[in-house]
């Protein structure tokens, strides 16, 4: 089990979780439902691996998102 403060896809610059990004990556999804659905939660697409991933997942290709760096700087 990973530590709660360890890097996750949610914090990665390659993670795309906007509903429009998910629908673009999975074109048939809109025929079934929508990427705006609550069941998706905050999961999204990994731009490096071209896969649908859980926001809590992690991998060795992690690169911190600029927005995370900015929010950490604001807290300091």
DSSP codes, the chain: ---TTS--GGGBTTEE--HHHHHHHSTTHHHH--TT-GGGTT-EEETTTTEEE-TT---TT--B-HHHHHHHHHH-
**Number of compact structural domains in the chain:** 1
Q: Which domain holds residue 49?
A: 9-75
User: 67 lies in a domain?
Assistant: yes
In a domain, 49, yes or no: yes
pTM over 0.85: no
Looking at residue 58, its pLDDT comes to 92
Any domain includes 36: yes
What are the pLDDT digits (tens) for 25-52? 888 776 666 666 656 788 999 999 999 9
Domain-located, residue 71: yes
Among candidate residues 44, 48, 39, the one with its CA nearest the CA of residue 19: 44
């Amino acid at each position: 089990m990973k530590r709660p403060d360890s890097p996750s896809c949610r914090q990665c610059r390659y993670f795309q979780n906007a509903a429009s990004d998910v629908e673009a990556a999975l074109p048939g999804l809109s025929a079934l439902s929508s990427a705006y659905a609550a069941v998706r939660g905050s999961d999204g697409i990994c731009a490096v691996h071209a896969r649908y991933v859980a926001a809590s997942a992690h991998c060795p290709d992690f690169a911190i998102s600029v927005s995370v760096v900015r929010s950490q700087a604001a807290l300091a």
